[in-house]
Structure 1
Amino acid sequence: MADAPFEGRLIRLRAFEPGDTPAVEAYLNHPALLGRRYVPWSFSDTAPLSGQQAAAIVQKWAETEKGLVLAVVQRATGQVVGHAEGEWDWDPHNPSVSVVIDPAHQRQGLGSEAL
């Protein structure tokens, strides 16, 4: 991945860092996201995640080879508020894109800008 993050007016997209784990744990455990968190298949999409599981997810996202998962960082605060994923895992002719934004930061245009 390129060293420079992708930047827009409201957000930056950048590689995840180990220090992002607490923010990832917080937004992935928000009740409104259960069942639609878009986490790796080896993790439950509905059960609460521990800090250790969130750290493992961040690590897995950093190591993915058949996709790209980036942190969505709100420029105004510098806070990680979600993730954006492009995946071409099982069928390279049918890639998918997903964006997950912490419900506390939704309806502000962050997800739209991430796309």
Structure 2
Amino acid sequence: MSLSILAIDDSRTIRDMLTLALTQAGFDPTVAEDGIHGLEVLDGMQPDAIITDINMPRLDGFGFIEAVREQPQHQTTPILVLTTESAPELKARARAAGATGWIVKPFDPAKLVKALNMVAGTGTA
């Protein structure tokens, strides 16, 4: 069974790259273009993991993570932050909001897949 992944990023290029990398790895990706859209797509979905950018219009990654963690059915869903940001205080803020991990762009598809397999519980790399 393939893992279901929700990926949120305001960059069409990044969404396309994520879709390609995740599909090639055998995952079932769904994409959204910002935090508000991500919450709309998440409604009625039970992804195995979520990937989100931080800097997005309408609702940034921090607000998105907090909103996801307020939903009982998504309190334990792994959330990886995928961003150009690398400041320790932003990582701490993301962790405090409920993020599971942090990956800096540009991302290595193999490392992303490995991280998803680790956090989504398959344990395979």
- Please, what TM-score do these two structures have when normalized by structure 1? 0.31
By relative contact order (CA 8 Å, sep 6+), the higher-ranking structure is 1
The TM-score, its normalising length taken from structure 2, stands at: 0.30
